[in-house]
Structure 1
Amino acid sequence: MQPADPTLYQRYQPWRRGVEAGFWVVQYLVSALANSITVNMDVRRLHLGFSAWQPAVWETSSALVALALVPAVVWFTRRFPLRLEDWRRVLALHLLGSLAWSALHVAGMVVLRKAAYASVGDSYDFTPWLWEFGYEYLKDVRSYAGVVLTIEGYRLLLRRLQGEAMLLSLPDEGPPVEPVERPERFLVRKLGREFLLAANDIEWLQASGNYVNLRVRGHDYPLRSTLAGIEARLDPARFARVHRSYMVNLDRIVSIEPLETGDARVHMQDGAKLPCSRTYRGDLRQRAGLEG
């Protein structure tokens, strides 16, 4: 069989990390440069008496600390993604997240500014602290919201390119054509198109935050669910839990490799090597009918 041409999503994967890191570096670099120029223009226009290097230090220190905080926001949004059905709880969590972002941002940039000022024999004053922090938070909450929306929008775009799986819902009229408690098929939406994915075609599943990635013929389709939630809806005669983050289709297992730690490594037909915790190893060997 002739292998399928790689999709746009697959072609993007080798470049993905570099593009993601480069995006944030360029964004904050351009922001620091543009803000330094505009603040210097305001200083001269209002005759405030600051040297040209001072606005550059202010803006650069702010951008460097904000850039360093981006990975924390990526983790936080993965742990608590934006969800309309739970918006009150998510909003409260992100308000707390914005306070933490602002506190770290302010503390970091003040340290950098004091160091920069001290290097030229000057001193940087950030008092009164409460007033100054309130002023900075009004700016930081907007910056934090912009970072969160950018990350979530990017993830949404990736899911649309990759294809996002959904459980079939009950029909508006009449009985369902298949049991929704144990679905035989999943609905996949990809670039404006919809198609059905047979449950038995799933090779293995991996938990990823509030999603479970369904692996099918080299493609990952994220499904909004927990692994325990989807485990309860898959055929236990065909699918088995092997790890707190993985499930496998028993028909797609090639071999089970025991490890000295008591755990095991599961070799799948697609070449994947998945971890198997000792908790699940004995049951997996028995159910798969494999030695190892």
Structure 2
Amino acid sequence: MTISAHPAPSPARWSAWLLPHAWVALYWLAFLLVLEPGNIQRASQAGQVLSLPHETIRILVASLLGATVTSAVQALAGRFPLHGPGRGRHLLIHAAGAAGLALALVLASCLLAAWVFAGRWLPSWDEIRDQLVGNFTLLMFALAALTALVHANLQRKAPAVSPVRPEAPAPVRELPALTHVEVKRRGQLVSLPLSEVDWIESQGNYVALHVGQEQHLLRDTVSRFAERLDSRRFLRIHRGVIVAVDRVRAVEPLTNSDTLLHLTRGGPLRASRSYAAAVRELAAQLCREPVTKES
């Protein structure tokens, strides 16, 4: 048993393709019937009598021929919509597409007329010129109206887009400030109270906790570690240095706008001008403390 690599189209696909082509064929049939009285009148004025069978065949064939542009018009309407940004450019593309389709329809009709009614393989240049002069503008108008109908149908079928409401940001859950950290002391893992830390500095991918003469390393960045500290007890004075506020005994201004912090244990530490505002507030606090104690 042979199995085809290309399965036959389903009835639903055939229906989806055939239905719009049938509607477009009816559209062209109505369009040609509207123009037929004018054709009969012009033929009568020229002393010609149009045969009913001849005209019936011509109109039916022309309607079916017009239906062949359905897929092209649908593709242009879907790719270049006449609403939204770029409407002007899309309108020019539709005009160029309509001109090309109108030219193709004129040439195809001339070929069919030569085969069916004249028994010739090719039409003459005079016949093509006459058809272009007489029908090109009408075809452009008919194609423009067909494009407008296709756009209206696409707009009708387009699903309604509800305005997107921005989602409320999830509440940020703040972690409690660190009070202890686990460090190794003499080969054993112990819990170190941060109240014993004098100052903290960055050492590459580690932070060093200075406790008197001791130093303990934690694998972390100073910025991430600073976020977990109690801001009332620790102050960042440099890109890579944090100091315990209660260890600062004096603040000494320097000539280059930096400051020097003298600690009760260790130091001194240099504070950069980027953190001058926080250091000035600390200095003002140190100036008020003796007065508070006396009172």
TM-score (ref. length: structure 1): 0.44
- Which of the two has higher C-alpha Rg? 2
TM normalised by structure 2 equals: 0.43
Structure scoring higher RCO (CA < 8 A, sep ≥ 6) equals 1
